[in-house]
Structure 1
Amino acid sequence: MKQEFNITIYSENHIGLLNRITINFTRRKMNIESLTVSESAIKGISKFTIVVNETEDRVKKVVGQLEKVVEVLKAFYHTNDEMVYQELALYKVPTDELYDSDQIEKLVRKSGARILEITKEFTVIEKTGHKEETQELFESLNQFGVLQFIRSGRIAITRDPIERLSEFLKERDALLEAMD
């Protein structure tokens, strides 16, 4: 049965790596719902967070293939229940609508969003939350004519208190020292 999985990849930062990672999904005709890349807590190591809607068996297989990519140090997969995650959304609405009624202000307050910038022509609103929450605010604001809308990819960390990448790197370093 298909469900949403979060694939986390830790890697060195090399040119062309994103292509080598995404080709693994393309070959399996697996759609990426969300992809975010940033620095990790470990200096020099990047963290990819990829969201897919797939069966666990297919996710296990792609994670195994991802670990064969030379620059990939380790890849993991988790269900949403095993993660703490958020997305960021920005909405640009006409400022006139903000002044003509208090409805936009009420929506912003009710949703826990915040106003980032107000100009004569437009107002930018920011909302963090799960995709469903940011989409709901978009639909509510769209009655006032959303000029632009963008949602980031998912950012996520595990609920597991043990940093598994650190443990993996310690084990790898110990093996490398033993080989010398």
Structure 2
Amino acid sequence: MEQKHTISVLVNDQPGVLTRVANLMGQRGFNIDSITVGQSEEKGLSRMIIVTSGDEATVEQIVKQFHKLIDVLKVQQLSSGPMVARELALIKVEATASTRAELNLIIDPFRASVVDVGPTSIVVQVTGDTQKIDALIELLTPYGIKELSRTGVTAISRSASLVKA
């Protein structure tokens, strides 16, 4: 059964590493649904969070292929255990004086905020899981989304919980 998988790849912070990872995925026919890259907790290393779709065999193959890349230090399949995943979106929505109050009523339950106001539009910032952002976009679409920018998913494994004996 095909499902979404979130993979963390710890790499040397070197030019061309992102290209090699993306090329590996493309050459093997694996689609990247989302990819984010940023500094890690260790100087000189970056962490890539890749979201892809496929069955268990597919994701195992991806992980094996990543291990073969020279600048890859660690690969972790985050979605195989408890994880925290978030995404950020900026959404520019058409807004008139008569629709602004209505738009605020829509964005409030999502804990989103208006970060820019113009004469004919507002920019809404929202963070959360992909489904939450998708839901807000769906509700704002009838008002006219002028522009949309999403970061892609970033994720981390949950802290181990303490088990009482």
Residue 23 (1) aligns with residue 18 (2): no
Any idea what SS the aligned residue of 1:67 has? helix
Contact 1:4 1:80 in 2 (8 A): no
Cα offset for 1:95? 3.4
Task: Report what 2:98 is aligned to.
Answer: 100
- For 1:125-152, what per-residue CA distance to the aligned partner results, in whole angstroms no more than 9, with x for missing partners? 0111111211111111111111111221
Residue 123 (1) aligns with residue 122 (2): yes
Q: Distance in 1 between matches of 2:80 and 2:104?
A: 31
Give the structure with the larger helix fraction. Answer: 1
Structure 1 regions of 5+ residues with no counterpart?
163-180
- For 1:1-57, what per-residue CA distance to the aligned partner results, in whole angstroms no more than 9, with x for missing partners? 222111110011111111111122112211111100000111111000000111112
Cα offset for 1:122? 2.2
Contact 1:33 1:51 in 2 (8 A): yes
Bigger Rg, which one:
1
Task: Report what 2:143 is aligned to.
Answer: 144
Any idea what SS the aligned residue of 2:69 has? coil
Task: Report what 2:32 is aligned to.
Answer: 32
- For 1:68-97, what per-residue CA distance to the aligned partner results, in whole angstroms no more than 9, with x for missing partners? 11111111113265210011111112231x
Cα offset for 1:161? 3.5
TM-score by length of 1: 0.82
State the Cα RMSD in Å: 1.7
- For 1:98-127, what per-residue CA distance to the aligned partner results, in whole angstroms no more than 9, with x for missing partners? x20321010011221111111223211011
Report the identity percentage.
29
Any idea what SS the aligned residue of 1:22 has? helix
Structure 2 regions of 5+ residues with no counterpart?
none
Contact 2:11 2:46 in 1 (8 A): yes
Task: Report what 1:59 is aligned to.
Answer: 59
When structure 1 is superposed on structure 2, of 153-162 and 82-91 the one drifting more is 153-162
Residue 13 (1) aligns with residue 19 (2): no
Structure 1 pair 131–160 and aligned structure 2 pair: CA distance change class (3 A): same
Task: Report what 2:73 is aligned to.
Answer: 73
Q: Distance in 1 between matches of 2:130 and 2:4?
A: 12
